[in-house]
Chain A
Amino acid sequence: MTAAPAWDDAIREHDRRVYVSVLALGLPPDRAREVTQMTWTRLIEQYAKGKLADLELPGLAIRQARFYALNEHQRARTEMRVLAAVPEPPAGDPERDLASRQELERVLAALETCSPQARRVFRLVYATPGGTAQTAAQAVGLSLQRVRQILCETRAHIRKELAR
Chain B
Amino acid sequence: MTTREDIELYVMGQYDGDVAALERAIAEDPALAQILADEARLDEQLRNAAARATFCPACDDLVRATRCDACGAAVKPGGYTVERVLVSNAHGRMYVAHDADGRRVALKELAFVQAPGADALAKFEREAKFLRALEHPAIPRFLASFEEGRGVHTRYYLAQELVEGTALDRLDEHWYSEVEIRELARQVLGVLVYLQSLSPMVIHRDIKPANLVRRDDRSIALVDFGAAHVHGSTAGVTTVGTFGYMPIEQLAGLVDATTDIYALGMTLMHLMTRQEPWRLVQAKAEVNASPELRAFLAKLTANDPRERFPDAKAALAALDAPAAIGPVAAPSKKRRPALIAAAAGVAFAAAGGSIFALAHHAHHDAPPASPIGTVRVQFVGADTAKLRIDGHQVATVASNQEIPVAAGSHQFRLAGPGGGECEVTLDVQGGKTSTIECAFREAPFEMQMQPWTWKWDWPWNGPHHERRFGERLHTHKRVSWKLDHVKLHDFALLAANTCDFSVVVPDGVDVPVSVNIRDAQCDDAFTAILEAQGLGYSFDGSSQLVRIAPLKDLDDVTPWTNDLPGGKELDLDVKDAPLHDVLALIVKSGGAGVNLVVAQGIDGKVTIRLAAVPWNQALGAVLAAQGLWYRYYPESNLIRVAPAHDFDGR
B62 at the binding interface (Cβ < 8 Å)? yes
A24 at the interface (CB under 8 A from B): yes
Pick from B36, B41, B62: contact of A112, CB under 8 Å? B62
CA distance A25 to B40 in the complex (A): 8
* Alpha-carbon separation in the docked complex, A20 to B520 (Å): 65
Interface membership of A44, Cβ < 8 A:
no
Q: Which chain A residues border B40 with CB–CB below 8 Å?
A: 20-21, 23-24
Q: Which residues from chain B contact A112 at a C-beta distance below 8 Å?
A: 61-62
Q: How many residues of B are in contact with the other chain, CB < 8 A?
A: 35
Alpha-carbon distance between A83 and B62 when the two chains are bound, in angstroms? 31
Smallest CB separation, B270 vs chain A (Å): 28
Min CB–CB distance B112 → chain A (angstroms)? 26
The answer to whether A24 and B37 touch across the interface, beta carbons within 8 angstroms, is yes
Contact residue among A23, A148, A158 (Cβ-Cβ distance under 8 Å from B36): A23
The answer to whether A155 and B49 touch across the interface, beta carbons within 8 angstroms, is: no
Q: Chain A residues with Cβ under 8 A from B52's Cβ?
A: 104
B5 smallest CB distance to A (angstroms): 5
Per-residue B-contact encoding for A22-39, CB less than 8 Å = 1, 0 else: 011110111000000000
Per-residue CB contact flags for chain B residues 31-61 toward chain A (1 = under 8 Å, else 0) read: 0011011011111111111111101000111
Instruction: State the CA gap A108–B55 with chains docked (Å).
Output: 11
Q: Give the CA-CA distance A122 to B44 in the complex, in Å.
A: 13
Within 8 Å CB of B46, what residues of A?
A: 107, 122, 126, 155, 158
Task: Give the chain A neighbours of B41 by CB distance below 8 A.
Answer: 24, 83-84
User: In the complex, how many angstroms separate the beta carbon of B83 from the nearest chain A beta carbon?
Assistant: 10
Does B327 reach chain A (CB closer than 8 Å)? no
Residues of B within 8 A of A132 (CB): 13-14
Indicate if the CB atoms of B12 and A108 lie closer than 8 Å.
no
Report the bound CA distance from A119 to B71 in whole Å: 15
Is B524 an interface position by the 8 A CB rule? no
Chain B positions within 8 Å of A151 at CB level: 8, 12, 14
When C-beta atoms are compared, the residue in chain A nearest to B46 turns out to be A126
Minimum distance in angstroms from B118 CB to a CB of chain A: 37
Q: Is B11 in contact with A20, judged by CB distance below 8 angstroms?
A: yes
Interfacial chain A residues near B5, Cβ < 8 Å = 152
Residues of A within 8 A of B59 (CB): 116
Question: Considering only CB atoms and an 8 Å cut-off, how many residues of chain A contact the other chain?
Answer: 38
Residues of A contacting B36 in the complex (Cβ-Cβ under 8 angstroms)? 23, 29
- At the interface, yes or no: B449 with Cβ under 8 Å from chain A? no
Pick from B8, B12, B13, B47 the residue with the most CB of A within 10 Å: B12
Whether B47 contacts A17 by the Cβ 8 Å rule is: yes
Closest to A23 in B: B40
| Interface of B (DSSP majority class) | helix
Alpha-carbon gap, A83 to B30, bound state (A):
13
- Is A119's CB under 8 angstroms from B61's CB? yes
In Å, the complex CA distance between A124 and B134 comes to: 38
How long is the Cα–Cα vector from A127 to B60 in the complex, in angstroms?
11
CA distance A100 to B61 in the complex (A): 22
The CA-CA distance from A111 to B54 in the complex, in Å, is 12
| Residue in B39, B48, B53 with the greatest tally of chain A CB atoms within 10 Å | B53
The answer to whether the Cβ of B23 comes within 8 Å of any Cβ in the partner chain is: yes
Checking A20, A116, A158, A159 against B44 with a beta-carbon cut-off of 8 angstroms, the contacting residue is: A20
Closest residue on chain B to residue A82 by CB atoms = B37
B75-87 vs A, CB cutoff 8 Å, 1 = contact: the mask equals 0000000000000
Interface string of A117-159 (1 = CB under 8 A from B): 0011011011100001100000000000000100110010011
Q: Is the interface of A mostly helix, strand, loop or mixed?
A: helix
Q: Which of B13, B23, B30, B49 contacts A108 (CB 8 A)?
A: B49
Least distance between A104 CB and chain B CB atoms (Å): 5
Any A CB within 8 A of the CB of B572? no
A123 vs B254: C-alpha distance when bound (angstroms)? 50
Assembled-state Cα–Cα distance A126/B52 (Å): 11
Contact status B37-A20, CB under 8 Å = no
Chain B hits for A96, CB < 8 A: none
Is the Cβ of B50 less than 8 Å from the Cβ of A119? no
**A42 interfacial contact with B, CB 8 Å:** no
CB-based contact A155/B8 at 8 Å: yes
The reply to whether A30 and B27 form a contact with Cβ atoms under 8 Å apart is yes
Q: How far is the CB of B415 from chain A (nearest CB, A)?
A: 56
Question: Would you call B9 an interface residue if the criterion is a C-beta within 8 Å of the partner chain's C-beta atoms?
Answer: yes
B583 touches A (CB below 8 Å): no
Tell me which residues across on chain B come within 8 A of A119, comparing CB atoms: 55, 60-62
Q: B26 at the A/B interface (Cβ < 8 Å)?
A: yes
Q: Give Cα A21–Cα B51 distance, bound, in whole angstroms.
A: 16
A29 to B47, CA, bound (A): 20
- B14 neighbours in A (Cβ, 8 Å): 132-133, 148, 151
Considering only CB atoms, which chain A residue lies closest to B37 in the complex?
A: A26
Given the complex, which residues of A lie within 8 Å of B47, measured CB to CB? 17, 126
CB distance from B251 to the nearest CB of A (A): 40
Q: How far, in Å, is B115 (CB) from chain A's closest CB?
A: 31
A50 to B260, CA, bound (A): 63
A155 touches B42 (CB 8 A): yes
- Point out the residue from B34, B44, B53 that lies within 8 Å of A81, measured CB to CB: B34
Query: Which residues of B in the span 375-409 have a Cβ within 8 Å of any Cβ on A?
Result: none
Nearest Cβ on chain B to A34's Cβ, whole angstroms: 13
Residue of B nearest to A21 (CB): B44
A127 adjacent to B37 (CB under 8 Å): no
Residues from 199 to 234 in B contacting A, C-beta threshold 8 Å = none
A29-B48 in contact (CB<8A): no
The reply to whether A159 and B50 contact each other, CB–CB distance below 8 Å, is: no
Report A86 CB to chain B, min CB distance, Å.
14
Known contacts being A16-B13, A28-B27, is A107 close to B37, with CB within 8 Å?
Answer: no
Complexed CA–CA distance, A155 and B49 (Å): 13
Q: Would A104 and B48 count as touching, CB distance under 8 A?
A: yes
Q: Is A72 an interface residue (CB 8 A)?
A: no
Distance in angstroms between the alpha carbons of A24 and B45 in the assembled complex: 10
Report the minimal beta-carbon distance from B72 to chain A, rounded to whole angstroms. 15
Question: Are A127 and B51 neighbours in the complex by a CB distance under 8 Å?
Answer: yes
Is A103 located at the chain interface by the 8 A CB criterion? yes
A26 touches B49 (CB 8 A): no
Contacting residues, chain A, for B42 (C-beta < 8 A): 155, 158-159, 162
Which residues of B sit under 8 angstroms from A23, Cβ to Cβ? Answer: 11, 36-37, 40
B45: chain A residues within 8 A (beta carbon): 103-104, 107, 162
> Shortest beta-carbon distance, A112 to chain B, in Å?
5
Identify A133's interface contact among B12, B55, B60, B61, CB under 8 A: B12
CB atoms of A111 and B49 under 8 A apart: yes
- Shortest distance in angstroms between B52's beta carbon and chain A's nearest beta carbon? 6
A29 near B62: Cβ-Cβ < 8 Å: no
Query: Closest Cβ of chain A: how far from B351's Cβ, in Å?
Result: 47
Per the bound structure, the CA–CA distance linking A112 and B61 in Å amounts to 7
Beyond contacts A111-B62, A126-B46, A126-B50: 8 other A-B pairs, Cβ-Cβ < 8 A, are A16-B13, A24-B37, A28-B23, A29-B27, A127-B53, A132-B14, A148-B9, A152-B5
Question: B interface vs A, CB < 8 Å?
Answer: 5, 8-9, 11-14, 23, 26-27, 30, 33-34, 36-37, 39-53, 55, 59-62
